[in-house]
Amino acid sequence: APIHMTEYFSFSCPKCLEFIRRDFPTIQSKYIDTGKVYWTFHPDPADLLTLQAMICFELLDNLEKQSLIEKLAGQIRVRPFKKACFKMQEEMNALGKPIPTLHDLSFLEKTEAFQKAYVYLKQPNVPIELPTIEINGLVYQEFPSIEWFGQVLMNLQISTSRRSK
């Protein structure tokens, strides 16, 4: 796809969960499945639940990651975190990749995901607000919506077609 979009999200962010539940299915069918956009979900590990999801992601392929993100966004409501962790464990069990110690902080601290999260959060240019969208390397401050995506993609396609002439 000519356009690469990255969504920085957190499972403790109500707007992120709403965006994944409400808008992402349309974006997927209209832009991703048609080859116009390549999409990356990038977890922002500033909370325990998102860190736990990152640990799950280490065991999953891309389709399984997307499925887990969509299922969790559809099932969890920001609180309580313990129930969300159990839902995550249920999904991992269903995939045949159980993580029985996902709730154990001493286990979490020893994972590669924990180390990556620590390094990521130490970077100077980590997104401040979530969800944040990056398109072809450019970070946008606007809160994403279906209408916003349509406008941005139309503008990108127009500028790309002008450059190719």
pLDDT at 147: 87
Q: How big is the chain by its Cα radius of gyration, in Å?
A: 17
pLDDT in tens, 12-70: 888 999 999 999 999 999 999 999 999 999 999 989 999 999 999 999 999 999 999 99
Global confidence as pTM: 0.87
pLDDT in tens, 83-126: 889 999 999 999 999 999 999 999 999 999 999 999 999 999 88
Q: Comparing C-alpha atoms, which of 54, 66, 1 is closest to residue 32?
A: 1
55-78 burial string, b = 16+ CB within 10 Å, else e?
bbbeebeeebbbebbbebbeebee
pLDDT in tens, 25-38: 999 999 999 999 99
Torsion angles phi and psi, residue 70, rounded to 5? -65, -40
Output the CATH code of domain 3-164: 3.40.30.10
